[in-house]
Amino acid sequence: MSERDEGGPAIVREAAGGGAVWLDGRRLQRGFKRSAGLGPSTYVSALASALDAEALPDALRVLVARGADVVARAPRSRFVEAPRELGASGWSTARQLALGAWLTRQAPRAVHFVAQQDAPALIGVPTILTVHDVVRHRYREWYRPDVDAGSMSASAARTWSRVTRAIERHAIRRARRIIVPSRVTAEELVASLAVPRARIAVIPEAASPRLRAEPAASDAAVRRRLRLPDRYLLHPGGAAPRKRLPELVRAFDEVARDDAALGLVLVGPVQTGEGATEAARAIAAASASDRIHLAGVLDDDDLAAVYRGARAVVLASRHEGFGLPVVEAFACGVPVVATAAPAIAEVAADAAVLVPVDEVTALADAVRKVLADPSLAESLRARGLVRAAQFRWAVAAVETLSVYEEVLGEPFGVRSR
């Protein structure tokens, strides 16, 4: 059965099962796992759109929860709706079990989960799983359990963290095929969880088509609305501990001593989630705290304007699974200064200024050089644009469909070859 959604395309109200692969689109929903502005939500939004251009209507469905507020642009005619409770915010073992049981009853050909945290450990249909990084398994000491303060004891929180990691490991190991965004993540997945390399497909991500170097007429108005300074550095990506936002704030503070007009703009969920408390303390302690601007989570059009206005994008990460902000900055013609975390080095190649991961203070010197040398900045812009063009969602969609074909054991229904 289907019906029209507010006058728009038909939405499948009862699962058709059988003939389609289902892409888990719950991260397109407002509030789902507080994922707005984070990698998996950006990934599924771009991938769903690219797959929509390739796959026949009955070959691919996008799974959302009934009544959900879907905030990203997505192919609504492909939506299939799960019971509302299966798309609720937060994580629970009971919900994971219920999701696996419900999907088993619906019997799609396969389900593609777009983040390892979202896949149920018990499910009776083939699964494809995108693993963005293995940081929770390889570097668990960096993270406290992702729970609301005071909601459980420290002992219970540690138990919760162990249980969720175990479920995640099982979901990864039982997946028929695993998609990762970089060779580095593939190698870490093999080393950390003993996943056979033959089951892993490396499919790089890309910048949204709306993130491009050509300025829009609305750029200045967007930056005025967000109350951004005329000259600023940009950090996209939130405050997760591996981003080392406190260290980046200290590096900015050092540069800002000699540049009274320079600001720092932080984009993403900086005030919530892991790392938010530490980031807030670092910002409050900065001498130039009044020049640090929290822009929040932005849609692609606003984000493009903010990227294009930046003098440089600066990243202090100790670890990334891919480093999408690097490609986004390149696509917008913005120089990048970053730590040489392995995945960042893989993605950036020779198009960014990279400093050793354990020498975060070197970021300040590198930023100064880029700001003071217009020829260096222009060279970085040119190399970045060339590098960005090598990452395309259309290519990622075709390669993802090839993974679907491997799982199904037969050609996937595409519009053309």
Express each pLDDT in 257-293 by its tens digit: 999 999 999 998 898 877 889 999 999 999 999 999 9
Contacts of 296 (CB under 8 A, 6+ apart): 37, 267, 268, 269, 270, 271
pLDDT at 4 over 60: no
With 80 as the cut, is the pLDDT of residue 210 above it?
yes
Residue 219 predicted with pLDDT over 50? yes
Domain that holds residue 69: 2-206+393-408
- Provide the pLDDT confidence category of residue 88 given band limits of 50, 70 and 90: confident
Verify that 87 and 195 share a domain, yes or no: yes
Q: What is the dihedral of CA 230, 234, 237, 240, to 10 degrees?
A: -110
Query: Do 90 and 178 sit in the same domain of this protein?
Result: yes
| Domain-embedded: residue 13 | yes
Q: Are 123 and 50 in a shared domain?
A: yes
Strand partners, 235: 266
Predicted confidence at residue 70, as pLDDT, reads 84
Enter the tokens of residue 294. 């929290």
By DSSP bridging, strand 336-339 and strand 231-236 are: unpaired
Verify that 259 and 168 share a domain, yes or no.
no
Stretch 227-249: mean pLDDT: 94
Cα separation of 268 and 296, whole Å? Answer: 5
Residues 16 and 131 in one domain: yes
Q: Where are the beta strands (DSSP E) in 187-261?
A: 200-202, 231-236
- Are 342 and 235 in a shared domain? yes
Calculate the average pLDDT of the chain. Answer: 88
Longest dimension (CA), the chain: 65
The answer to whether position 237 is within a domain reads yes
H/E run at residue 400: helix 393-408
Handedness of CA 148, 153, 157, 160 (dihedral sign): negative
Cβ neighbours, 10 Å, residue 289: 14
414 lies in a domain?
no
3-state secondary structure of 233: strand
Does residue 371 sit in the same domain as residue 400?
no
* Structure confidence at residue 273 (pLDDT): 75
Residue 212 in domain: no
Domain-embedded: residue 401: yes
Do 169 and 240 have their domain in common?
no
Q: Sign (positive/negative) of CA torsion 282, 185, 175, 66?
A: positive
Instruction: Answer yes or no: is 199 within a domain.
Output: yes
Same structural domain for residues 202 and 256? no
Instruction: State the burial class of residue 356 (Cβ atoms within 10 Å of its Cβ: 0-12, 13-18, 19+).
Output: exposed
Given a cut of 60, is residue 145 above it in pLDDT? no
In a domain, 214, yes or no: no
- pLDDT of residue 9 exceeding 50, the answer is no
- What is the DSSP pairing of strand 60-65 with strand 2-4? unpaired
Say if residues 32 and 381 touch (Cβ distance below 8 Å).
no
Confidence of residue 111 (pLDDT cuts 50, 70, 90): very high
Q: Is 99 left (phi over 0), alpha (psi -120 to 50) or beta?
A: alpha
Q: Where are the alpha helices (DSSP H) in 228-341?
A: 245-256, 276-285, 300-309, 324-331
Q: Domain with 134 in it: what CATH number?
A: 3.40.50.2000
- State mean pLDDT over 218-243: 95
pLDDT at 151 (0 to 100): 56
322 phi, psi to nearest 5 deg: -150, -55
* pLDDT band of 109, cuts 50, 70, 90: very high
Band of residue 352 on the pLDDT scale cut at 50, 70, 90: very high
Number of domains the chain is built from: 2
Instruction: Determine the Cα–Cα distance for residues 135 and 7; give it in Å rounded to an integer.
Output: 43
Percent of the chain with pLDDT over 90: 68
Spatial distance between the Cα atoms of 14 and 60, rounded to a whole number of angstroms = 15
- Of the candidates 256, 210, 207, the one whose C-alpha atom is nearest the C-alpha of residue 233 is 256
Query: Does one domain contain both 188 and 314?
Result: no
Note whether 60 and 21 are within 8 A (CB): yes
Instruction: Say yes or no to pLDDT of 3 above 50.
Output: no
The answer to whether residue 30 is domain-embedded is: yes
Q: What is the pLDDT of residues 369-407, one digit of tens each?
A: 999 999 999 999 999 999 999 999 999 999 999 999 999
| Residue 203: how many other CB atoms lie within 10 Å | 20
Q: What is the pLDDT of residues 23-44, one digit of tens each?
A: 999 998 887 765 555 678 889 9
Token pair belonging to 143: 């993270």
Q: Return the closest-CA partner of residue 120 out of 142, 138, 102.
A: 102
Give the confidence band of 10 by pLDDT, cuts at 50, 70, 90.
very low
- Greater model confidence, 8 or 285: 285
3-class DSSP state of 398:
helix
Sorting pLDDT into bands at 50, 70 and 90, what band is 308?
Answer: very high
Question: Within this chain, do residues 256 and 116 fall inside the same structural domain, yes or no?
Answer: no
Q: Are 413 and 59 in contact (CB under 8 A)?
A: yes
Q: Are residues 265 and 164 in the same domain?
A: no
